[in-house]
Amino acid sequence: MAGNPFFAIEQNGTVHVFARSPDGHLLEWQWTSYEGRKLEDLHKIKFVDFISNSGQTISGDPKTCSEWRNIFVRDSNDHLKFWKNVSNGWQITDLTNVNGGTTISGNPMADCSNYNTKDIVARNSNGYLHHWSLRGTTWLAREIK
């Protein structure tokens, strides 16, 4: 493992821990009382609905959004990526496109007050804070100077 791990707990008691591997893959450890422990390299599993996925590895620490199905990471191109676990696999969205291509430098911070409301803050490549917000199905972004 490289960097700092991040964890989330489901209502059924399943513990999910996410971390970056030394080669830049996103790893997930799960612990459940009924299945025991397992480790998955998320770069090697089924993906659906790739949306602007560059296929790059991650370079920052992952952040979940209060629960394990929404993960935000900085990839090796300094793009903010949103990994979402849906019923038939993972999808990845490049949120850098939402803010006109401004890259980030540093790890994102995430907060999700409910299913369709997400707020992400990260330092952009100019050193300013940048705020991404999801309201319903629309992502918005702005620089905070």
- Domain that includes residue 54, residue range: 2-144
pLDDT of 96 > 80? The answer is: yes
Structure pTM? 0.83
Say which CATH number the domain at 88 has.
2.120.10.70
Asked which of 2-11, 41-50, 67-76, 89-98 is least confident by mean pLDDT, the reply is: 41-50
d(CA 55, CA 74) in angstroms, rounded, equals 12
State how far Cα 125 lies from the chain centre. 18
Most confident of 31-35, 50-54, 78-82, 86-90: 78-82
Amino acid found at 96 = T
pLDDT, the chain, mean = 82
pLDDT at residue 66, rounded to an integer: 65
At residue 121 the predicted structure's pLDDT band, cuts being 50, 70 and 90, is: very high
Q: Are 105 and 85 in contact (CB under 8 A)?
A: no
Q: Which of 28, 32, 62 is nearest to 45 (CA)?
A: 28
pLDDT at residue 48, rounded to an integer: 52
Amino acid found at 99 = N
Most confident of 44-48, 108-112, 130-134: 130-134
Tokens found for residue 133 = 């917000």
pLDDT at residue 51, rounded to an integer: 47
d(CA 34, CA 89) in angstroms, rounded, equals 22
User: What's the domain count of the chain?
Assistant: 1
Long-range residue pairs from 93-97, CB within 8 A, at least 24 positions apart, any chain: 93/51, 93/52, 94/51, 94/52, 94/53, 94/54, 95/120, 95/132, 95/139, 95/141, 97/52
At residue 53 the predicted structure's pLDDT band, cuts being 50, 70 and 90, is: very low
Helix, strand, or coil (residue 97): helix
